[in-house]
Amino acid sequence: MTHVTDKPLPRRRDFLAMAAAGCLMTPMMARRAGGDEGAEPERPNILWITTEDHSPYLGCYGDPLANTPHIDQLAREGLRYTNAFANAPVCAPTRFTLLTGTYAASMGTLHMRSRNPIPDAIRPYPELLREAGYYCTNNSKTDYNYATNDGSHWDESSNQAHYRNRAEGQPFFAIFNYTISHEGQIRDNNVAQRQENGMLPPEPRIAPEDFPLPPYHPDEPEIREDWVLFYDLMDLLDQQVHQRLQELEDNGLAEDTIVFFYSDHGGILARSKRFLYDTGTRVPLIVRVPEKWRHLAEAPPGESTDRVVSFVDFAPTLLSLAEVPIPSYMQGKAFLGPQTTAAPQYAFLYRGRMDERCDFSRAITDGRYRYVRHYMPQRIFGQHLNYPHEVQQNWTAWEAAYRAGRCNAVQSVFWEPKPVEELFDTELDPWEVINLAGESAFESLLKTMRTALKDKLLAVRDTGFIPESMFKYLAGDETIRDYALSNEYPMDLILRIADQATQRDIAQLPVIETALRDRHPVIRYWGAMGCALQPENIGAMKSTLMEMSREDLPANRIAAAEALAQMDEQDHALAMLREVVLDEDDAAATEAMNVLDYLEERTVFSPEELEQIAADNQRYNYAQRIAQYWLDNFVRA
């Protein structure tokens, strides 16, 4: 089981002091001590070109609609990974995983834009590279999803950061992040501005009527328009990548620099980004290793590899390429360089709260088969999210088509409660619309992958089974990761109860009833969640739920109230949920408002109270977004 070391690694000042005293000498320092200060770098430069919100929709990945000649050329000069995955389908948790080489689900940093602390022993890779002599620059996103001074890990971190500012002969690690393919770029005003300045053609390169829609999208003009616009934005991305690579050539650094090209997760249209499907997690990854450093590569230029890699593997791989020892707390596996290990069988994927919407799913994939387990199956896939609905017309068009009855069975799934389990064959069913979980022919595979996921959840001590609003109550002065590693977190029992309680199976009622009375608050929470999933069968548990609805812990009051509201205790339940929103912090208020939205009980607040919640950004962050949604769509409409 992966664990955090008890003792933090030396800080930079300690490292330099030991080096000055002759107690520590890195390979870089040894070469300098030997007198080849003016020689070519003895370790490679490393350049990351990162992009946003796109799956492998590139010519080099076989997409016939793509116009990406420069990225395709990079693939011919490098190694193309066909099974590369973002561990989460949204940016901030993936950025945390990239930065630390640890799973956000194991550190309590899986929920979108959370700022929870992590153990001091977990150190971002740029700190380790800098201690080894690298000049590290970030241009320019940070947003690392935990309590940190986001820019402090770098020599430079801004939209002006550049490797050119390093000392002579100093190797560099540099990130250049491009946002042209981000979902926000398809806003109408962004498109019009780019058409006016000539960046985008007046008409899309691909005629909307000719675009082959995925089977889950209904044939609506707004959806077709967004798809073809995305491909035009990818054309611009290809040009930007070319300019960055040309700059490397012009500076005479191409032969000394290993180049990574990848996207921060999949995307861009509805049912991709934010979801644990291939369209949300599979990413392009190309690594170009110049001749001088070819011994560090897995295969020669122009080849592809089906090795399963995910973002948790990137930090250890960087350290391997830079001849820096990989810390024991890193949970990934190096896939290049002298510290390369055997490939993992599966990539581990996780989804938590996405902005203002609470959800909880986990998945694994071996590159072909994907198993997904949903722990909030009562919530629909397409919960309303203010941001994508604001910037992407395809979301609202799809929802309108569903409500108007224009969606077939496959297209309707997104707007309906989830199955508990999903199993897909992404080779035969690349859009993942055929759930094999109930097919007898796949029963053995389902059991194998179900067990593999459980083993992974236990190994990483997944903190997602703890409600986010409960973190501060359980962790106290420690981090939630410290708590999860302690004996106070009976992960194996909690996982078993959560699995049984969320099956919607009447046979699990004895387990649910016992869980409701357990001394551990997380187990009680999952007992209440089980009640909320089959309220018609839990009349005998009403008195226990009533007691639970008065607990000090907001998460348990909320879970009990969700169950009670579906019984004959609606007035009491709604009063409890209203109290949480008005009296507790944003995490608890957001959880409570998610339940109220699910119950379609939006009148527990007056319009004036909703106005106040929506305007109070000192206290609320995500609860205010739900209040604004209610105001715009139910109160003022």
Tens of pLDDT, residue by residue over 162-173, are 999 999 999 999
- pLDDT, residue 636, reads 85
Contact 283, 86 (CB under 8 A): yes
Predicted local distance difference test score (pLDDT) of residue 14: 37
- pLDDT per residue as tens digits for the range 466-517: 999 999 999 999 999 999 999 999 999 999 999 999 999 999 999 999 999 9
Confidence of residue 192 (pLDDT cuts 50, 70, 90): confident
How confident is the model over 360-370, as a mean pLDDT? Answer: 98
44-344 CATH fold: Alkaline Phosphatase, subunit A (3.40.720)
Q: How confident is the model at residue 19 (pLDDT cuts 50, 70, 90)?
A: very low
- DSSP states of 382-447: T---HHHHHH-HHHHHHHHHHHTT---HHHHGGGSBPPSEEEEETTT-TT-----TT-GGGHHHHH
Residues 146 and 149: their CA atoms lie apart, in Å, by: 9
Catalytic center residues: 91
The secondary element (H helix, E strand) that includes residue 229 is helix 221-250
How confident is the model at residue 48, as a pLDDT? 98
Show the 3-state SS of 206-224.
Answer: CCHHHCCCCCCCCCCHHHH
pLDDT single digits (tens) 254-312: 999 999 999 999 998 999 999 999 999 999 999 999 999 999 998 999 999 999 999 99
Question: Cα–Cα distance between 568 and 622 in angstroms, integer?
Answer: 30
Average pLDDT across the chain, whole number = 93
Would the pLDDT of 8 be above 70?
Answer: no
Confidence at 5, pLDDT banded by 50, 70, 90: very low
Q: Can you give the residue ranges of every domain in the chain?
A: 44-344, 463-604
Structure-model confidence comparison of residues 199 and 156, the more confident one: 156
What confidence score (pLDDT) does residue 479 get?
A: 98
> Is the pLDDT reported for residue 4 higher than 50?
no
Distances in Å between the Cα of 461 and the Cα atoms of 335, 379, 478, 480, 525 are 24, 25, 16, 11, 18
* Range name among 39-43, 337-341, 362-366 with the lowest pLDDT average: 39-43
With beta carbons less than 8 A apart as the criterion, state whether 220 and 258 touch.
no
Does residue 152 register a pLDDT over 60?
A: yes
The lowest-confidence range among 196-205, 533-542, 604-613 is 196-205
pLDDT score of 42: 87
The pairing of strands 257-263 and 282-288 is antiparallel
Q: How far apart are CA 450 and CA 468, in angstroms?
A: 25
**Residue 137, pLDDT score:** 98
> Confidence class of residue 17 from pLDDT cuts 50, 70 and 90?
very low
The answer to whether the beta carbons of residues 576 and 582 sit under 8 Å apart is no
pLDDT at 36 (0 to 100): 42
Phi, psi of 11 (to 5 degrees): -75, 170
pLDDT, one tens digit per residue, over 269-285 is: 999 999 999 999 999 99
Q: Does the structure show a pLDDT above 90 at 13?
A: no
For residue 29, pLDDT over 70 is answered with no
Structure tokens at 572: 């009491």
Instruction: Identify which has the larger pLDDT, 7 or 112.
Output: 112
Q: Which of 226, 277, 270, 276 is nearest to 398 (CA)?
A: 270
Tell me if 311 sits within 8 A of 85, measured CB to CB: yes
Taking residues 144-148, report their average pLDDT.
Answer: 96
Return d(Cα 320, Cα 313) in angstroms, integer. Answer: 11
The burial of 423, by beta-carbon neighbours within 10 Å (0-12 exposed, 13-18 middle, 19 or more buried), is given as buried
- Is residue 450 scored above 80 in pLDDT? yes
DSSP 260: E
pLDDT in tens, 566-605: 999 999 999 999 999 999 999 999 999 999 999 999 999 9
Q: pLDDT tens across 530-571, in order?
A: 999 999 999 999 999 999 999 999 999 999 999 999 999 999
Task: Look at residue 189 in the predicted model and tell me its pLDDT.
Answer: 75
Residue 102 has pLDDT above 80, yes or no: yes
Q: How far apart are CA 473 and CA 553, in angstroms?
A: 8
Distance, CA of 354 to CA of 360 (rounded, Å): 10
